[in-house]
Structure 1
Amino acid sequence: MPESPVWLIDASIYVFRPWFVRGHIPQDRDSNPVNAVLGFLRFVYNLLQTEQPQQIGFAFDTSLHTSKRKAIYPAYKANRPPAPDELKYQFQLCRDFLDALGIVQAASHHFEADDIIGTWAKQHQANGHACMIISGDKDLAQLVGEHDIWWDYGKRKPLTSGGVKKEFGVWPQQIPCQLALAGDVADNIPGIPGIGMATAARLLQKFKDTEILLSRIPEIGQMKTRGAKRLQALVEEHQATVRLARQLTGIDCEVPDIPLDLRREEKDLPRLQTLCELLNLTDHQFTLWAQV
């Protein structure tokens, strides 16, 4: 593990996971469901207590309808229903709780959480800091540099740059091209029909990126791989799709108007106590949060 890394958290997935867990639904003092909040807070507490990060930032998604990718491709993430009001309420509580803990959290109406994390990563990598990129989304593995780690915390083992290559078949910087070729069902990004992640990886092993691949299409048919001529024809036919998808799969590392200093500040204990009372947490739990 890198020494004194900067922790960059893709927050939304750690809210969604407990939201979808079935069973007893705890409520706050006003009888609103708070299962997602409490699940997210368990994740946050465990991370803070175990890892004791000195620099940490949480990136959230807000409205997909005004994102840059939606403007490029209106069907982007169109397969995802809008969050219900009770989930939006819980997302805001998560952000409020982080504020009370003195932890940086950020969101943008025009950029996604991935882009916020990319902006933080670019800055801190340039300053010589290793980054722990905490997410369950493989898209963010593209940000992993020589000293960084991508980690679906509590679910999978941490992956270095070489670990990403072993896991996904391509180097981190090739992931946007791999997704542009194979498509990304989760984000409703089109790819080349009949080309999956493994085949995309084989193409990128030879051609490095989609730009080179599309400039040397006739060479695909000469590859020593089964169905090479068919692959060539598929790429030839779907060039426009690949170029469109490649605009969607890359991460923008120049998000404006977000906090860049990720050092923790002093806790707002009165606000923290108010939130703990709202969430029906005990005095002992408040004390644990005040000390973490």
Structure 2
Amino acid sequence: MSRVLHPRPTLYLVDASMYIFRAWHSMPDEWHDEDGWPLNAVHGFARFLVELLERERPRHIAIAFDEALDSCFRNRLYPQYKANRDPAPEELRRQFALCKALSAALGMAVLGHGDYEADDLIGSALVQSRGHGARGVIVSADKDLSQLLQDDDEQFDFARGLRWGQAGVKERHGVRADQIADYLALCGDAVDNIPGVPGIGQKTAAVLISHFGSLDALLARVDEVPFLRQRGSARAAASLREHREQVLMYRQLTTIAVDAPLQPHEAPFARGAADATMLSSLYERFRFGPLTRRRLQTAAGLDSTPSTN
């Protein structure tokens, strides 16, 4: 698939956790460090990262990590937020730090914060970078992130090779990109343990948000809902009245924060020089094979024949 060339800088914003978790579940437990800890997620993430660098050759890139696994500001608003997920085992948590080290050694900005999720860091970096004339390519399949798309921004499901912009959000979910947070507040998000309004599923939520334009307008005009030509409209109206406060709180959960602190990085996150010494050390620590080392060296713009001793 050929890429469209854009006159503006393109900032790639990577949702690292998605690809680390995917590697953890899909890669065999074949690699271990000198202390016996597994390295399968690191190996899988490295393969993803080098493929991204080879295919896209980004000049501006930031890798966002979830440090706020159970301490995010959303947990204070709603203690049940993501409570349906089992805590990440120590064998995986250790590998998150290693993936950060690899990203930094390759010269890429690494984003993390104890109070904000990766989505918020991506949103904040994108908003900052728009002030520098950049467009964004969000590397993630997470539907929450679609709310950030504007103008010629894109979302990129790397594993499937699929890209979409604002028009693609409407095709996928039945609402505009800027309506995604309201839509998810209504129908809920099982992945994040957000229940939504009882009796309102995805189809009804899309109809309601499309018709009224926003959650605020819907709640202000809830008396009109029973007269819509939509099955179950009367029940939906009653449920909205009963759960008004809850759905407004759910929207706080589904809305990506764009004001997270991102220092000391400077938008639009130009890719820096790789740290050859650090990379060489990581290759040994991670037990990377010769092919992975050569590909990473080339992608980093370094000598493609690192020592394998």
Q: How would you bin the TM-score normalised by the shorter chain?
A: over 0.9
2:11–2:136 Cα contact (<8 Å) kept: yes
Q: Which one of 90, 96, 100 corresponds to residue 91 of structure 1?
A: 96
Q: Which one of 145, 151, 172 corresponds to residue 146 of structure 1?
A: 151
Residue 163 (1) aligns with residue 165 (2): no
Residue 286 (1) aligns with residue 290 (2): no
TM-score by length of 2: 0.90
What are the equivalent positions in structure 2 for 1:237-256 lying under 5 Å apart?
A: 237-256=242-261
Deviates more, 1:48-57 or 1:4-13: 4-13
Alignment-mate amino acid for residue 290 of structure 1:
Q
2:140–2:156 Cα contact (<8 Å) kept: yes
Residue 13 (1) aligns with residue 29 (2): no
The equivalent residue for 2:66 is 61
CA-based RMSD of the aligned residues comes to 1.5
The equivalent residue for 2:75 is 70
1:2–1:147 Cα contact (<8 Å) kept: no
Give distance in 1, aligned partners of 2:13 and 2:27.
28
What are the equivalent positions in structure 2 for 1:1-292 lying under 5 Å apart?
A: 1=4, 3=6, 4-21=9-26, 23-155=28-160, 157-258=162-263, 259-261=265-267, 262-292=269-299
Alignment-mate amino acid for residue 272 of structure 1:
L
Give distance in 2, aligned partners of 1:156 and 1:197.
25
Alignment-mate amino acid for residue 75 of structure 1:
Q
Give distance in 1, aligned partners of 2:74 and 2:290.
45
Deviates more, 1:111-120 or 1:146-155: 146-155
Give distance in 1, aligned partners of 2:153 and 2:284.
38
Give distance in 1, aligned partners of 2:200 and 2:161.
26
Q: 1:263 to 1:22 in 2, by over 3 A?
A: closer
- Counterpart secondary structure, 2:79: coil
Give distance in 2, aligned partners of 1:166 and 1:250.
20
Give distance in 2, aligned partners of 1:190 and 1:278.
43
| Cα deviation digits, residues 50-79 of structure 1 (max 9, x gap) | 100000000000133321111111111111
1:64–1:70 Cα contact (<8 Å) kept: no
| Cα deviation digits, residues 187-215 of structure 1 (max 9, x gap) | 11121112111110000111111111111
Give distance in 2, aligned partners of 1:24 and 1:84.
14
1:114–1:140 Cα contact (<8 Å) kept: yes
Measured after TM superposition, the shift of residue 270 of structure 1 is 1.0
Structure 2 unaligned runs (5+)?
Answer: 300-309
Q: 1:122 to 1:110 in 2, by over 3 A?
A: same
* Identical-pair percentage: 39
Give distance in 1, aligned partners of 2:198 and 2:68.
29
Alignment-mate amino acid for residue 287 of structure 1:
R
Give distance in 2, aligned partners of 1:127 and 1:257.
15
Give distance in 2, aligned partners of 1:47 and 1:227.
46
1:29–1:277 Cα contact (<8 Å) kept: no
Deviates more, 1:95-104 or 1:251-260: 251-260
Give distance in 1, aligned partners of 2:223 and 2:161.
39
Q: 1:158 to 1:284 in 2, by over 3 A?
A: closer
Measured after TM superposition, the shift of residue 22 of structure 1 is 6.2
Give distance in 1, aligned partners of 2:131 and 2:229.
40
Give distance in 1, aligned partners of 2:203 and 2:161.
20
Measured after TM superposition, the shift of residue 28 of structure 1 is 2.9
